[in-house]
Amino acid sequence: MKKGVTRRGFLKAAATTAAAAGTIEIFAPAILRAQQQPIKIGHLVPLTGFLSPMGDYASKAGKLAVEEINAAGGVLGRKLETIVDDETNPGVGVQKATKMIQQDKVDFLLGTVSSAVALAIMDVAERYQKIFFNTGSNSDEIRGAKCNYYTFCTEASNTQYVKTIGRYLIKNKNYKSFYILTSDYAFGHDLTRVTRRLLGELGGKEIGHDLVPTGTADYSSFILKIRNAKPECIIVNVAGADQTTFLKQYSEFGLKIDVAGGVTDTVLMWNAGKETAQGVWTVIWWGDLDNAWTKNFVSKYRAKYGLPPENQAWGDYTSLKVLAEAIKMAGTTESKKVVEALEKIKFDGGKGRELYYRTYDHQLMQPMYVVDIKKTGNKDQWDIFNVIAEVPGKDESMESIAPTKEENPCNMKRG
């Protein structure tokens, strides 16, 4: 550089020359080009198969959240963009997550409903040091033995779900004998493990158990075994559309044995309908909660899509909103800085309480809701739940339904 010519002057002159020659991109600083690019989020949800009813709501909610964030000016002056793809099984999930990172250049990963897929994708996220928001997968392993620094769970763990329904049953029922139906994959196995631990604490007796293949179309053989075993309560640990199928066929048999389940999704009960749906269940969120955040979200979702959001929509919408705020707090999309922000962030999320992610396992601490089926006085076809308990109560710690640090085998390598 010639004496008396400053670096700033040189760059300005070079840019002017480049503009005249049509080669401005060559000289534009990389940081300026980066600031013009959208912040990309790989959104993996089940769009086919037995979990697809939830995936559709998740995808719609993600689009709504991104539209709202961008309409408000984006994040750090940049727009958000989601790249949506189907998560069908762990192998495909790994391939698609890897493609999103390597080819699509996503900054973050979000989604999943299948616990098996989530466990596979979180390994990819750790390898590439990309934050993965688990918005719909329940297995305790995700936030336990297999936890990692880059994975955050907005979805609750199986333990949080089961402790919620368990505390209600302890207080309000006196069941002694149980029959368990279990989805034969990671989610179901883990949920039943937690259920058995709870039954041991309650002094309940398991008098029957069946592993149910996902996508089972005929439950008659299982229902006949339940009828012969004569339990006081059936614990339904099957997932996705399998819940709807079971409830419809169980109703046709006319059995009067009580049904309870640790985990359900609202759309599954909508699909069953109020005449067929039955039992006592745990949900992570319900669209009729009486608070301003929920009313605003439901109103915007219904205006855009013509139907209300369900709990899976809540998880993906909330996660994107929280991620956007964390990026703002960090002042960057650099993963480690955003992790640090997420470990400090507190938010409402439509539950009327201050929610937060625990630093040692990145699980969201939040209340859950015990619901039964609303049979009369329904405002419309979607008005299907009565909320009969919020667990823990407002005067209790939200950590009382989560695994304690001593119970949780998470041993996260930080950074």
Which of 415 and 356 is assigned the larger pLDDT?
Answer: 356
Residues with Cβ < 8 Å from 316, sequence gap 6 or more?
Answer: 43, 45, 57, 58, 59, 61, 62, 65, 110, 111, 135, 136
Share above pLDDT 70 across residues of the chain, in percent, rounded to a whole number: 92
* pLDDT tens sequence across 209-226: 999 999 999 999 999 999
10 Å Cβ neighbour count for 258?
15
* pLDDT tens sequence across 166-202: 888 878 888 889 999 999 999 999 999 999 988 888 7
335 — pLDDT class (breaks 50, 70, 90): very high
Task: Tell whether the model's pLDDT for residue 26 goes beyond 80.
Answer: no
Task: Tell whether the model's pLDDT for residue 208 goes beyond 70.
Answer: yes
* pLDDT tens sequence across 211-268: 999 999 999 999 999 999 999 999 999 999 999 999 999 999 999 999 999 899 999 9
Residues with Cβ < 8 Å from 286, sequence gap 6 or more?
Answer: 266, 311, 369, 371, 385, 387
Query: Which structural domains are found in the chain, ordered by start?
Result: 1-36 (no CATH), 38-156+289-366 (3.40.50.2300), 159-288+369-398 (3.40.50.2300)
Task: Tell whether the model's pLDDT for residue 288 goes beyond 70.
Answer: yes
**What distance in Å separates the CA atoms of residue 301 and residue 345, rounded to the nearest whole number?**
25
Task: Tell whether the model's pLDDT for residue 15 goes beyond 90.
Answer: no
pTM of the model: 0.88
34 — pLDDT class (breaks 50, 70, 90): low
Task: Tell whether the model's pLDDT for residue 88 goes beyond 50.
Answer: yes
Task: Tell whether the model's pLDDT for residue 1 goes beyond 90.
Answer: no
